[in-house]
Structure 1
Amino acid sequence: MPEPRRIRVVGNSGSGKSTLAAEISRRTGLPRLELDEVFWDAGWRYRDLDEAHALIDAFVAEHPEGWVIDGNWTSRLEGRLDPGTDAGADLVVWLDHPRPLVMSRVIRRTARRGILREELWHGNRERPSTWLSRDPHENIVLWSWTNHRATRERMTERMDAGQPVVRLAGRRAVGRWLATLR
């Protein structure tokens, strides 16, 4: 089987998608696109869907030799990047870490970003005022908690349907898989 050149990294919030995608890009030399940057606009508003799709389509067209794209955004992608489509991924790498690992990561990351006022995309910053919200759309930690099972179910269905998915559960699995990249 040829080495995958169009790699999509998915997983629950806090699973390490961006970190893994950056490392895949570094090791392979493939250009990287972060879907959070595409779909979020300034002020934590969703970017216009047609504009977001145009950005993704342009990135894929500009990099026919391959790419790494991280992020879920299944409901807004409308099938873009799905394996089996012309512009789809050759391989989907699914980070399926245990919930305690994901939660510890998302809590540490959220606290660091909020305290240090780290800019994410387009001037957006995580706000400590959202940490106590009971709305998962406002509270990234709660979003991660409530989506853990749903992400697992969705990805298991894709694997069962025969899509090219590599499931990585735990840090060692990630390290072993990275070691196979050229």
Structure 2
Amino acid sequence: MLCVTDPLPARPRRIVVAGVSGVGKTTLARRIAEITGIPHTEIDALFHGPDWTPRPAFVDDVRALVARDTWVTEWQYSDARPLLTARADLLVWLDLPFATVTLPRVVARTVRRRLRRERLWNGNVEPPLRTFFTDPEHIVRWSFATRRKYRERIPALRRDLPVVRLRRRRDVERWVAGALTDTVR
């Protein structure tokens, strides 16, 4: 497992960003895409159909994505993870503190999206805030319930795939400005 100061073994062309819901995967994936010039595909846009239903073409779309020479996306969804890791050159793991970083971030994002009625993938909007209490898969509850799963999943991958583990916000900034930027110079 690589840390923030370790150089990357090679210039990555296919990158997945992992972490619990709300940690900032998509934000970091977009930044990586900007710096490297590699196209970013938001995996939520492939997964969510109207009314938050899974799109039937999701797995086929992921297969088409991973067949490309270069891409950056988020490491999510059980059907997609094996396809993504089989072709990825690098996995970046956002393992930020849950209580002080991720939880406030996912709550703020959810409330902001709901109050502004932001249109997300395929016209979806965040459900009413009261669903936090009624929906066991509400994004904030989901983030809390799955917060430890990556600590089980990711260590098993490091045999086959370089993994960069970033544990603090400042580590993210240092890695982006250091190891990642160094690989594209």
Provide TM-score, normalisation by structure 2: 0.85
Q: Distance in 2 between matches of 1:44 and 1:144?
A: 17
Instruction: Report the AA paired with residue 79 of structure 1.
Output: P
Mapped contact 2:66–2:83 kept (Cα < 8 A): no
Aligned positions of 1:1-182 closer than 5 A = 1-48=9-56, 51-61=57-67, 63-64=68-69, 66-73=70-77, 75-77=78-80, 79-82=82-85, 85=86, 88-100=87-99, 101-127=101-127, 128-133=129-134, 135=136, 137=137, 139-159=138-158, 161=159, 163-179=161-177, 180=179, 181=181, 182=184
Q: Distance in 1 between matches of 2:116 and 2:17?
A: 27
Aligned length: 170
Deviation sequence 1:120-163 (CA, Å, 0-9, x none): 1001111123222251x1x111111110011222223333x453
Structure 1 distance, partners of 2:47, 2:71, is 18
Please state whether the residue corresponding to 2:147 is helix, strand or coil: helix
Q: Please, which runs of 5 or more residues in structure 2 have no aligned partner? A: 1-8
CA distance in structure 2 between the partners assigned to 1:134 and 1:57 by the alignment: 31
Q: What TM-score do the two structures reach when normalised by structure 1?
A: 0.87
Indicate the structure whose relative CO is greater, using CA pairs within 8 Å and at least 6 residues apart: 2
SS in 2 for 1:12: coil
Whole-angstrom CA distance in 1 between matches of 2:49 and 2:106: 21
Structure 2 CA distance, aligned partners of 1:155 and 1:78?
A: 11
Structure 2 Cα separation of the partners of residues 59 and 156 of structure 1: 24
Q: Is the 8 A contact 2:88 2:161 kept in 1?
A: no
Tell me if structure 1 keeps the 8 A contact 2:23–2:96. yes
Give the number of the structure whose residues are more often strand, by fraction: 1
Structure 1 unmatched ranges of 5 or more: none
Q: 2:160 and 2:65 mapped to 1: Cα distance?
A: 26
The question of whether the paired residues in 2 share the 8 Å contact of 1:34 and 1:71 is answered with: no
Contact 1:35 1:69 in 2 (8 A): yes
Name the Cα RMSD after superposition. 1.6
Q: Post-superposition shift, 1:78?
A: 6.2
Query: Is the Cα contact below 8 Å between 2:14 and 2:72 reproduced in 1?
Result: yes
**Which amino acid letter does the alignment assign opposite residue 70 of structure 1?**
E
